[in-house]
Structure formats: structure tokens, C-alpha cells
Amino acid sequence: MIEELPEDAVKIGEGVWYTKIVDKNENWIGIVEWHLNSIDNLCEGFVAFDVETDYIPAHAAKWTVESFDPLTISPSVLCTVCNHHGYIRDGRWVDC
């Protein structure tokens, strides 16, 4: 297993994992999406959910949660560092 991943990382396939981000009331407000880039280095990005919270700035990009279980969000997720791109659908990563 990749040593840099947190213990609570959820594997969703295709070399992609996520960890939950919750607020002080344990409301799920986003994820850190982890993936392997083209040279198998770990890369990560924050995905904020479009939910009521004071923890995410109003101007931040937000994803619509279609389902929390299994996790399904839209639109697609694009890494601004390595251009890894795909969807989280039915709790699985789907490459674009």
C-alpha cells in the first residue's frame, strides 16, 4: 500500500482514493481525492461539496452530491497539477 495515504482512505478504483472532510458537527462537506499520476507519484486535491457549511468559502468551486452512499458527485474531477480526470459514480472512479 502507498505509505503516504491516510489510514482512512477509501479505494474507489483506477489508482484513486478519497478521504472524508467533515465539519465540527461531523457533517460530510467534501473529500480529499488522492490519485497516482503518470509516474506513480501520489497527487491530491480538495473537492468541496455544495452543502450548507461555514467551512467552505462562498466563492469556492463546489460539486453536487447526487448520492452520499455510494458516493456520486458531479461534475467530473480534474487535477490542476497533473490533469488526472474522471468521475466519481456509484462509489467508483470512472476515467474520462
- 2 pLDDT band, cuts 50/70/90, is low
Residue 2 lies in a domain: no
**Distance, first Cα to last Cα, the chain:** 25
Does the pLDDT value for residue 1 go beyond 80? Answer: no
Percent of the chain with pLDDT over 70: 97
Percent of the chain with pLDDT over 90: 90
Residue 71 lies in a domain: yes
**Res 3: pLDDT:** 65
Residue 1 lies in a domain: no
Residue 4 lies in a domain: no
Is the Cβ–Cβ distance between 2 and 19 less than 8 Å? no
Residue 31 lies in a domain: yes
Per the model's pLDDT, the better-predicted residue between 3 and 45 turns out to be 45
Query: Total domain count for the chain?
Result: 1
